[in-house]
Chains A and B, each alone.
Chain A
Amino acid sequence: EDQVTQSPEALRLQEGESSSLNCSYTVSGLRGLFWYRQDPGKGPEFLFTLYSAGEEKEKERLKATLTKKESFLHITAPKPEDSATYLCAVQAYFSGGYNKLIFGAGTRLAVHP
């Protein structure tokens, strides 16, 4: 069964303390991996698409990497405004020639001054 697991469930950092979030997946034929940021009560905000193993993408203090079994979201010198839930989603085969997104449960990140 296609599955996406994110760890840790929650992470508390001091401002400036770099760390990484993990997204591991088991899907029958990965067709892209996506990272989203979600603030409480808001819709997920698209961050990155990673297309194949070895790929990296960067945006401000965030850097996403992809291997054959997992993806990491590295946060360098985080600020309080980086506090949010980070969601990982993999694009997997659904049926009838179409893909679907399977979301992980997310990592709740809190960055304290």
Chain B
Amino acid sequence: DSGVTQTPKHLITATGQRVTLRCSPRSGDLSVYWYQQSLDQGLQFLIQYYNGEERAKGNILERFSAQQFPDLHSELNLSSLELGDSALYFCASSVEQGRLGTYNEQFFGPGTRLTVL
């Protein structure tokens, strides 16, 4: 158990809908990262927050957004869902914010499996 929690574990929804995925980082970690993992793409970095502020953006679609709250939990919002958005979504956390000169060991949660029908 990494100490990172994610809810829900599974989510089934229809195209065009909007969903929210939730993540709580390990105690003491200030950085939260979101990743998407699909069979043909591997683990793709979406976005990072550090202590409530957006730190880095990866391959995140405009239909997707995220935020980190004062209690450090984070939510990933996915809207106008398409069939291709079906994937495992992972949250990871780390102590470091990822500045040059630091080593950014990230610890992953159990994931949310999203199925878009």
Contact = CB atoms under 8 A, between A and B. Distances in A.
Interface in A20-68: 31-32, 34, 36, 41-46, 49, 51
Contacts of A93: 100
Interface stretch (B14-22, B68-76, B78-86, B103-111): B103-111
Interface string B84-117: 0000101010000111111111111111010000
Interface in B1-49: 2, 4, 42-43, 45, 48
Interface stretch (A11-19, A76-84, A97-105): A97-105
Contacts of A87: 43
A72 B97 CA distance: 27
B100 A98 contact: yes
B88 to A, nearest CB: 8
A19 to B, nearest CB: 22
Contacts of B97: 98
- The contact size tier of chain B is 20 to 34
A91 interface: yes
Contacts of A106: 42
A28 to B, nearest CB: 12
A34 B105 contact: yes
Contacts of A31: 100-101, 103
Given A43-B2, A98-B98, A100-B98, A32 B111 contact: no
A99 B113 contact: no
Interface of A: 31-32, 34, 36, 41-46, 49, 51, 87, 89, 91, 93-106
23 contacts: A31-B101, A36-B108, A41-B111, A42-B110, A43-B110, A43-B111, A44-B43, A44-B108, A45-B2, A46-B2, A46-B106, A49-B103, A91-B104, A93-B100, A94-B56, A94-B98, A97-B100, A98-B97, A98-B100, A100-B56, A100-B98, A103-B43, A105-B42
